[in-house]
Structure 1
Amino acid sequence: MNYENILVAIEERVATITINRPAKLNALNKETISDLSKAIKLLSKNEEVRAIILTGSGEKAFVAGADISEFANYTVVEGAQLAAEGQETLFDFIENLKKPVIAAVNGFALGGGLELAMACHFRVASDNAKMGLPEVTLGLIPGYGGTQRLPQLIGKGRAMEMIMTAAMISAEEAKQYGLVNHVVPQGELLSFTTVIAQKIIKNAPFAIAKAIKAINANFEDGKNGFDTEIKSFGKCFGTQDFKEGTTAFLEKRKAEFTGK
């Protein structure tokens, strides 16, 4: 499938999605959000794909925010609809995807760009990355889940400060805060992230999906994460992957998982 603003490549069961609007520093507009949503939905159904890496084109930016020109004249109703549709079709969808999605943050990740990275299951940053939520400088607040995911990742106090000051932090600061897992040189970002993805896909896909569900449940209102874990743990026992994993362990060989 051809897309206007993204590139998709699949190699050794890992899909890499590259946001490709370099002239706009990969800023998110409606078309890009739509492209991302369509691509990720297709990849979620592709049995040959076990993990997804999300990155930006060039060395300057992962995503340098939203395309402000699109919503500068929106009404209250239109603004709320913009946030609701974006969260449902892309940001929440990524967070709850059964396949792991890793953000490879190459450069600026601001506003909607940082929110997109935070929707991924975890983040790896290049050493030149800068991250922030500058929405209050526009008279707005983060609308794609930023006020919820940032405190979950770095704590309430730091999130309050970042959002209210609109300050950018460096990749190293982001690592210290727990916002990113690793910081690597720009030229090594994709190769390093791909190595992590390859480690993940050696494991049982069904179990990976259930682990994502159980971890996310701890952060959902009205959900008991322990109950979700118990039920998910039990369901793993009914899979071919469980039989293969335990048999391989007892036979002292590498397991060959099918995701069934």
Structure 2
Amino acid sequence: MTAGPRTATAPEPTGRFDTDARHLAEYAAGAERALAALPPVPERSPDERAHAAAVHRGARRVRRAFLARHTESVYGLLTDDMARGVRLPDLVHDAADRIPGLVPTRRQMAAERRLVQAEKEGREIDQGLFCGAVLRSPTAGRHLVETMLGPTPRALELADGFRAQGRAELDTVHVERRGAAAHVEFRNPRRLNAENHRLIDDLDTAVDLVLLDDAVRVGVLRGGTVDPPAYRGRRVFSAGVDLSDLRNGRIPLVGFLLGRELGYINKMFRGLLTDPHPGALSERGVTKPWIAAVDTFAIGGGMQLLLVLDHVIAEEDAYVSLPAAEEGIVPGVANLRLTRLAGARLARQVVLGGRRIAATDPEARAVCDEVVPADRMDETVERAVAALSAPAVAANRRMLALAEEPLDLFREYLAEFAVAQAERAYAPDVLDKVERRWRERERRRAARESRP
């Protein structure tokens, strides 16, 4: 079979797994030969870029056709017919090993990670196609969601120490038990507590530790003090995704953009699954109420967190926003959740129009439960902890979550998000925006450093 869609005919699916897998591998290998014959991405001429795009389109059509018929078989192969749970990053890597051509190999992804976003081949789009197909399947998708609701290996290693000492110091997150509450503080001070790969890994661990500790009844999220001159010494909840990391190619689809949604955010909303055996989630896991203390602002991913929490306290000068239209990407599951909480019209103003909501605006009531002066934040948090520590709260919040966002609704949304977000991350307008913002930030940084 010759290389590339201009000279090769896409194989017609037969419905037989082994035959279709062989045809996929052959076609994908031809596509890779066509791409290898081209210069690196930044050196390609307009015609070469167009040819590369055609090669990718052809290969993706074949992958979609294969997944349309064989997703459950692939997932069964990778999980021993769902007898064991395989976390998403391992699932994607295993798929590359077991079904050649279906998703990028480890070597290909390692090469991509060395490049800035605009210089990559865009192989995460192929990962997005695979993840979306798995999540779209009612059986495989539900099994994957439940697998990702389980505690991480790192959290299991640290759990006994946290129970004994009541604190855990992670690279970018501090967790401390105080009475009935565990306080989770974001500590990425140079970046206004923006989300990077290290922070989301630490948050996944921190949320697990809170949920695994029987002495904790309530979790509290708050941003620590930050360094940039405009906010130096102030607490900031979160600046959202680190756009410099996005420009530099350090915001991966699987480990970051999907990982946070299927990991700690979903665990805070639905609870931690501690027993993988069949049965009601209430019999197999633990859920606890969560409080947010919002200082200064909650932008992007920071605002997304508020949409799954049980009580949000904002200081009077704080604001929230989802600058999705400006950044050009999809704000996680916020499109689903903000519509439910705030109504379709306000959700469109925020997501599509970039509307910023001040804590004192009437519309903030859709997101914030209390708005207080900064000097009353601590006492207000303690009062909320006491109110949410009642024994019946956990059971009732579980039932509220079930009514508000059934697991299958979340799964179906995330199936579409996996593809849409992967494609937007490589869209020309996004690449142009993050490059311009990065250059402006670097210019300002150089100007500051040049001052006497």
Residues 1:67 and 2:242 aligned together? yes
Q: How many residues align?
A: 219
Query: Any idea what SS the aligned residue of 1:109 has?
Result: strand
User: 2:338 is matched with which residue?
Assistant: 150
Residues 1:21 and 2:188 aligned together? yes
TM-score normalized with structure 1 length: 0.77
User: 1:45 is matched with which residue?
Assistant: 212
User: 1:126 is matched with which residue?
Assistant: 315
User: 1:187 is matched with which residue?
Assistant: 375
Distance 1:64 1:96, change over 3 A: same
Residues 1:86 and 2:260 aligned together? yes
CA RMSD of superposed structures (Å): 2.3
Query: Any idea what SS the aligned residue of 1:99 has?
Result: coil
Equivalences for 1:78-227 in 2 at 5 Å? 78-79=252-253, 82-97=256-271, 98-143=287-332, 145-173=333-361, 176-201=364-389, 203-204=390-391, 207-221=392-406
Give, in whole Å, the separation in 2 of the partners of 1:109 and 1:94.
17
Letter in 2 for 1:162: V
**Segments of 4+ in structure 1 off by > 3 A?**
78-82, 174-177
Q: Deviations over 1:75-131 (max 9, x none)?
A: 9xx546642211011111111131111111111100011112222222110111110
TM-score normalized with structure 2 length: 0.46
Query: Any idea what SS the aligned residue of 2:340 has?
Result: helix
Aligned-pair identity in percent equals 25
Give, in whole Å, the separation in 2 of the partners of 1:153 and 1:50.
25
* Structure 1 residue 3 displacement after superposition: 0.3
* Structure 1 residue 34 displacement after superposition: 1.0
Gaps of 5+ in 2: 1-167, 226-233, 272-286, 409-452
Give, in whole Å, the separation in 2 of the partners of 1:120 and 1:39.
16
Q: Deviations over 1:22-72 (max 9, x none)?
A: 221111111111111111101111111111110111335200111122233
Letter in 1 for 2:263: T
Letter in 1 for 2:242: D
Letter in 1 for 2:262: E
| Higher RCO structure (Cα 8 Å, ≥6 apart) | 1
Give, in whole Å, the separation in 2 of the partners of 1:221 and 1:35.
27
Equivalences for 1:232-247 in 2 at 5 Å? none
Say whether the 8 Å CA contact 2:220–2:293 is kept in structure 1.
yes
Gaps of 5+ in 1: 224-260
Give, in whole Å, the separation in 1 of the partners of 2:407 and 2:193.
36
Give, in whole Å, the separation in 2 of the partners of 1:193 and 1:62.
14
* Structure 1 residue 133 displacement after superposition: 0.2
User: 2:172 is matched with which residue?
Assistant: 5
Give, in whole Å, the separation in 1 of the partners of 2:308 and 2:204.
13
Give, in whole Å, the separation in 2 of the partners of 1:22 and 1:127.
22
Give, in whole Å, the separation in 1 of the partners of 2:313 and 2:325.
26
Give, in whole Å, the separation in 1 of the partners of 2:207 and 2:395.
19
* Structure with the larger strand share: 1
Say whether the 8 Å CA contact 1:175–1:182 is kept in structure 2.
no
* Structure 1 residue 210 displacement after superposition: 1.5
Say whether the 8 Å CA contact 1:18–1:54 is kept in structure 2.
yes
Flag the structure with larger Rg: 2
